[in-house]
Each structure stands twice: as C-alpha cells, then as structure tokens.
A and B are shown apart, each in its own frame.
Chain A
Amino acid sequence: MPELQNFTMNFGPQHPAAHGVLRLILEMDGEVITKADPHIGLLHRATEKLAESKPYNQSIGYMDRLDYVSMMCNEHAYVMAIEKLLGITPPIRAQYIRVMYDELTRITNHLLWLGAHGLDIGAMTVFLYCFREREDIMDMYEAVSGARMHATYYRPGGVYRDLPEHMPDYKASRFRSKGDMRRMNKARQGTLLDFIEDFTGRFPKCIDEYEVLLTDNRIWKQRTVGIGVVSRERALQLGFSGPMLRGSGVEWDLRKQQPYAVYDEVEFDIPVGMNGDCYDRYLVRIEEMRQSTKIVKQCIAWLRKNPGPVWLDDHKITPPHREQMKSDMESLIHHFKYMTEGYCVPAGEVYAAIEHPKGEFGVYMISDGANKPFRVKIRAAGFAHLSALDEMVRGHMLADLVAIIGSQDIVFGEVDR
C-alpha cells in the first residue's frame, strides 16, 4: 500500500475569495482541510508608526484607510482617544451626527459584507443589490465630507462641519432619460437629512429583498448552518467581538456595555445568535442593519429639532473661522499654529474603543506631552477573528472555508494595518 499523504495548497493572495490579500497555506486531505495557516502582512502600511511621526490631526485620514469599508467608525475611535487625553467633550449635536454616521457606516459595512459573503457562496445577485443601497450611503458621505470613502470627517472636538442644507443631485446627461433623472433625484430635492430619512424609510424593504434571496433559501442554509461553529466559551477565549461574539450567543456590545457618544440616549436592541455558526452570524448582521436604521431615524429626529454648534469653539484644538482669520490677528496665529504644529496633548495614556461594525475597534495611545503621539496601538477586531480561522475551518471542506472567511468579515486594511 502506498503511503498516503496530505497535500498543501496555496490559497491566495490573488484569490477571488481572499477578501483582499489573505494568503492561506492549506493542508488538505482531499477536499477536507486539516490545517489552515493564514499568512498576513501583505497590506502592512505601518499606520501605527506613521501616526507617531505626525501631529495628531494628520493621522485621521490614515484611520479611514484601516478598515476601508467602515471609514468613519475607525475615525471615531481615534478621535475619541485624543478627546479623552485632552479631556474635552464634543458638542452634543456633533455626538448625534457621529452616532448617525457610525450607524450608516455600520450599514455600508454590513452591505459590503453581505454582498461579498453572498458572492463567495455563489449568490451573485445579492452583491449587486447591496451595492445599490451602498451607493446611497456613499453619496451621504460625499455630501457631508466631499469624499465618498475616506471622509476624514470626525475631528477632535466635533465634526468637520454641520450637515449641508442641500443634497447634491444628479445632473442631466445623455445617458439618462428624463424619467430616470426624476426618479433618481426624487429623494435629493431637500436637505441631506431629508435624503437620509428617505433612505431609512426604504432601506428595511431592501433588507427584506436580500432576505428573500437568502434567509430561507435551502442552499444558503445548507451552506451556512453548522459551518464554522464557535461555542460561547471559545468565542470569549479567542477574543472575538462584535457580530462574531454575538453570533455565538454572548450579549456584548460596547454601545450598551460602555456607551460612548450618545448611544445611551437612543433606543435599540442587540441581536444575539444561538449556535455560533455562519448562519447565526448572518442573521445577527442582518438584524443589526435593521437596528442601525432605527438608530439613524432617532438621530434624524433629534438633529432636526436641535440645531447648534458641531465643533468646539476652542481654537487651540479646532481651526478658527476663515473670515475671522482675514481680520483678526489672534485667529491668524491660531490658524498657523493649528495647521503647522498642531496641538500638544497632555502626557498620559488612554484606550478608547468603539463598537465597530466588525467588533471592538480600539485605539491605545500614549502621549508624552508633545504634538504627536508617543505610541499608537490599534486593536483591530479582524485580527482576532482571523487568528481563529484555523480552529474554525478544521475538518470542513474547501467550500466551507470560503463561507467562513466570508462570515468573519475580514478586511485586510485593519488586520495588517
């Protein structure tokens, strides 16, 4: 009898299901995986090191590029860390705007996750359905910050500017009919808030559409139920957070456990799974999208009633008004100092964490009193999840590996940093 031997297979980094640049060395017994060894670092950009070499504000843009599908949430954690060190609290309106955009970001993240997860399992159409709604949220990003993805909208002490009074609309083009234009611009006639409100009105129906294609689909269930099961205890031991942890039945959500911004003012529920398999994680994320819509609605209602400042008036840490700068010497000095040197932050160390769409996203920051951080350490949720990949896929087939990677919702920008 010849000696039987497992074979190794190189999965990625150029693989359609690698979600970026994941490289896996798989040890395969036929179709069954006996070991999966993730190799990371192909997207390492030294974000933490770069942050140590520049004034605090200039690193906000790097945060967008960590988990590049949930941009503003990354900013939130970083900005919160600086605010804690400075001992400042942003105006309440800014906090509501942040919560609203955090939740919109959660929706975009989950939409991309659902699309990619569906595509991995072969449900191609869901991907494009999700991107239709994602496009609207990209427009909301653009309306508020000028950038569709890398917004750099949150700043220490508030947000860069108030919500615009006018929602940009589509311009006439020879590729669009008048009817199309009218349909596409229908929700874009009023303010940005009107547009977001319209979105929250129709989005639950869109979720129903995705669910019709997937939730009760027998093939979808066969592919996800009982796949990549993580028990409650293991999930805690492995350092899971976010939907991965809640999928395993642990009721843990930083928005509830240690509310930041105004999460204690809004009402929402956190969905929890039972079995800790891919299907439960899918259901948890779908429900999170519904809950996020609910939060966004409450924020809109509050924001409509309560106008006010969105950025602190302390020009040591926020730039002065442009007009004052032209006539006021002190403002000019403030502006010069702010844009060149930045601001010095009292010495100390701080950990600020938020409930990122993927889990706990934390920024640990040490300041030595200078205008740039002495050390920044970013706690990315995906890193802990990816470390558990080997345990999750052992004994499963190659096709399940793809489903599990999908359900972990990994983005390499944050894993490799």
Chain B
Amino acid sequence: MTAALHNLLLYWAALPFGWRLTLRSLGGIIAIMVPLIVSVGFMTLIERKVLSYMQLRLGPNRVGMHGTFQWVADVLKLVCKEVILPTNANRFLFLTAPIISIATAFAAWAVIPFSNGVILSDANAGLLYILALSSFGVYGVILAGWASNSKYAFLGAMRSAAQMVSYEIAMGFALVGVLLASHSLNLNQIVLGQSGNIGHWYLWPLLPLFMIYLISGVAETNRAPFDVAEGESEIVAGFHVEYSGTAFAAFFLAEYANMILISALAATLFCGGWLSPLQGWSWLAGTSLGFLTRTSFIWFALKTSFFLYCFLWFRATFPRYRYDQIMRLGWKVFIPITILWLVLEGLAVVLKISPWFA
C-alpha cells in the first residue's frame, strides 16, 4: 500500500511542471465545483422550506425524508426536458447566454478563501477579479433577453441591464472601503487583516458600506425585493421566459451560485471570513471549548449560511420595488452614502484610528 503510494508520488514528481500545475488546478476546480453545485441544489430546497415555514406551509415533503431529495428530482426533470429554441431567436446568442451566466458565476469562486490559504488561486487582484466577473455576468442576462426575441424577455433584459450596472457601482464603492481598510486586494490578506477579535472585523467601521454591499448584492443577483428582471407578476419570468430544460437550469444554477458567492463575499470582506468570532477570547483557549476560538472553514460556512438565510428572509418579507425606484435608490441614495463614507474612512485611515486602520 505504502509502496503504491510512494510510486504514485514518484510519478507525480516526474511530471513536467506545467502538467502538475494543470492537474492541480483541475483537482481544485472539481473540489470547488462539485460541492458548490450540490449546495446550490440544497439551497433551492432550503429556500422552499424556509419560505414555506415562514408562510404557514410545509414545503416539499415527498421526495426523500422531508423532501431532502426534491432538488435531485428537479434537476432530473429539467435535464430531461427539451431545450426549446424559439423560431425567431438568435440561436447562437440564445445558447451562449446561459453559458456566460453560469461560467462567470462559477469562475468567481477561484479566489474565495475557504480557510487560511485554502484557495484555488491566491491572486493579488482577487477583489478586482470578482468585480470584473460579476460585471461580466450581466451579459448573460442581456443576451438572453435580446436573443429570445420576445417582448417580455426584452423588458426583463433592459431592466436587469440598467439595474445590475448601477448597483455594480454602489457595490464597487463599498468594496473600495474594504480595500482602503485592508490595503490589499487579495482576499486572503483581507481576512487576515481582520484577525484579532470580533471587534476587528471591518463590519464595524464600515457598517454603512456593509449594508449597502448586502443590499446591492441582493439587487445584483436579481433577488426579491429587487427581482424586477424576472418580476413574476409583471413580466412573467423576464429574461429567461423563453428558456426551458437545461438552458433554464443553467440560469437557475447561476442565480443561486451568485447568491452563495455574494454571501461568501459578505462573510469574507466584512465578517472575518474563516476567522472565529470568539477569536481573542484567551480564557477559552485552555478549556475544552478552546476549539471554538480556532479559525476554521466551519465559521466561513456558518457566516455564509446566515447571509443566505437573509436572502430568503427578505424574499418572504418585502414587496417588490418598481424598476425606477430601484434606480433611484441606487443612484441617489447608495452612491452618495458610499462616497461620503469613503471620505470619512479616508480621514480615519490618515488619522490611523485603531484597531482597524492602525
């Protein structure tokens, strides 16, 4: 057994460097993608369950124990269905759009640190990369709406183009605040910059920016109360009204992957990522509860889950904004607030206010 392992390691070492790099990256991609897709599946189930309990219903409870495997059934159904191509649609763009959506939604995960140093690509410009990819995701939506050649899809695409672009700005400004505090675009560095104790998290000095980031995140992923791009009661399903089968599933997958991404980013950038909230409680360290103060992937997952829950909570609580009201909120409220806070934060950085900007 050990001999076999030894041989394998020898083979590995004998591979050219380029091969080793490629294989390692591929392994990393699979290690991220598979759990991500599974969590998207569970996310759809959890969404339905959480909403149903908030709304005095039971939710799915037929496939598996309490509907645990409902998502598998849904996926199978969608995959087995025909992808209908509308006669007047632009076939190439019609099929490219979901691919763009899903590709950008997954690619952004490359720079998310799951635990200290556990990261597919420890890129220095990680934050910039994420901003770039989330902007690129808009193309999927716009192309889908345009290529469908349907008035409903067209309206949905117009709405989401305007909405996502304008919230990109507010979100970008909110992230500049993080950049200013951490002096780094590397997500791992940003998390490390928040170590110390719970008071060191960027959540506290950047509270307005955090709120704006979270709300923009909801808008960016086209979730309620900003779901005008697919506003069910207005334009039925918006940009993906003409999609079916796997193509529709791709949009669905992208939306949820983006939702998880936004939550993961909120946890990473403002709430100390994989750092423990009990970090710095030295009196705990000696006791049997000492493990609670250690950094762990679990903390990251818990924080992400909390923000994901907020997404569902919003959906159950709020009515939908009107399209122009969303624009007003983005341009006339959020952007001025972020700029103002960036100025204040700049002052704080110059004055080296501890513990965050020292």
Contacts and interface: CB of A to CB of B under 8 A. Distances in A.
Contacts of B227: 122
Contact of A119 (B159, B233, B317, B324): B233
Contacts of B321: 219, 222-223
A125 B55 contact: yes
Interface string B142-171: 000000000110010011000000000000
Contacts of A204: none
Nearest to B318: A219
Interface stretch (A73-81, A98-106, A321-329, A392-400): A392-400
Q: Which of A119, A121, A213 counts the most B-chain CB atoms under 10 A from its CB?
A: A121
B151 A223 contact: no
B233 A397 contact: no
A181 interface: no
Interface string A260-280: 000000000000000000000
Interface size class of chain A, counting residues whose CB lies under 8 Å from the partner chain: 20 to 34
25 contacts: A7-B151, A9-B151, A9-B152, A17-B234, A31-B155, A31-B323, A120-B233, A121-B320, A122-B225, A122-B231, A122-B319, A123-B318, A123-B320, A124-B315, A129-B55, A213-B317, A214-B319, A217-B319, A219-B319, A220-B319, A223-B321, A397-B324, A398-B155, A399-B320, A400-B322
Contacts of B315: 124
Interface of B: 51, 54-57, 151-152, 155, 158-159, 224-225, 227-228, 231-236, 315-325
A256 B333 CA distance: 48
B327 to A, nearest CB: 11
Contacts of B231: 122, 399
B320 A397 contact: no
B226 to A, nearest CB: 10
A401 B56 CA distance: 29
Given A122-B225, A123-B319, A222-B321, 10 more contacts: A7-B151, A31-B323, A217-B319, A219-B319, A223-B319, A223-B322, A397-B323, A397-B324, A398-B234, A399-B323
Interface string A95-127: 000000000000000000000001111111100
Contacts of A217: 318-319
A125 B313 CA distance: 11
* SS class, residues of chain A in contact with chain B: helix
Interface in A199-242: 213-214, 217, 219-220, 222-223
Residue among A219, A222, A223, A402 having the largest count of chain B Cβ atoms under 10 Å: A219
Contacts of B159: 31
A15 interface: yes
A124 B316 contact: yes
Given A15-B236, A119-B233, A120-B233, A397 B319 contact: no
Contact of B55 (A121, A124, A214, A219): A124
A132 interface: yes
Contacts of A10: 151
A217 B54 CA distance: 18
Contact of B54 (A7, A120, A122, A125): A125
Contacts of B225: 122, 219
A129 B325 CA distance: 27
A16 B324 contact: no
Contacts of B57: 128
A214 B232 CA distance: 19
A25 B152 CA distance: 13
Given A31-B323, A219-B320, A399-B322, A122 B235 contact: no
Interface in A1-37: 7, 9-10, 15-17, 30-31
B320 to A, nearest CB: 3
B236 A397 contact: no
A223 B323 CA distance: 10
A398 B235 CA distance: 9
A227 B154 CA distance: 25
Contacts of A17: 233-234
Interface in A372-417: 397-402
A219 B158 CA distance: 22
A401 B235 CA distance: 11
Contacts of B55: 124-125, 128-129
Contacts of A222: 321-322, 325
A128 B316 CA distance: 11
Nearest to B224: A122
B316 A122 contact: no
Contacts of A129: 55-56
Nearest to B227: A122
B234 A402 contact: yes
B283 to A, nearest CB: 42
B24 to A, nearest CB: 45
Contacts of A15: 236
A122 B155 contact: no
A219 B226 CA distance: 11
A118 B319 contact: yes
A180 B252 CA distance: 37
In this complex, the member of A15, A120, A125, A399 whose beta carbon has the largest number of chain B beta carbons within 10 angstroms is: A399
Nearest to A175: B58
Nearest to B159: A31
Contacts of B236: 15-16
Given A121-B320, A122-B225, A124-B316, A16 B325 contact: no
A219 B224 CA distance: 12
A222 B326 CA distance: 11
Q: Which 3 A-B pairs give the minimum distances between C-beta atoms?
A: A122-B320, A123-B319, A17-B233
A220 B315 CA distance: 14
Nearest to B54: A125
Contacts of B318: 122-123, 217, 219
A121 B234 CA distance: 9
A400 B228 CA distance: 12
Contacts of A398: 155, 234-235
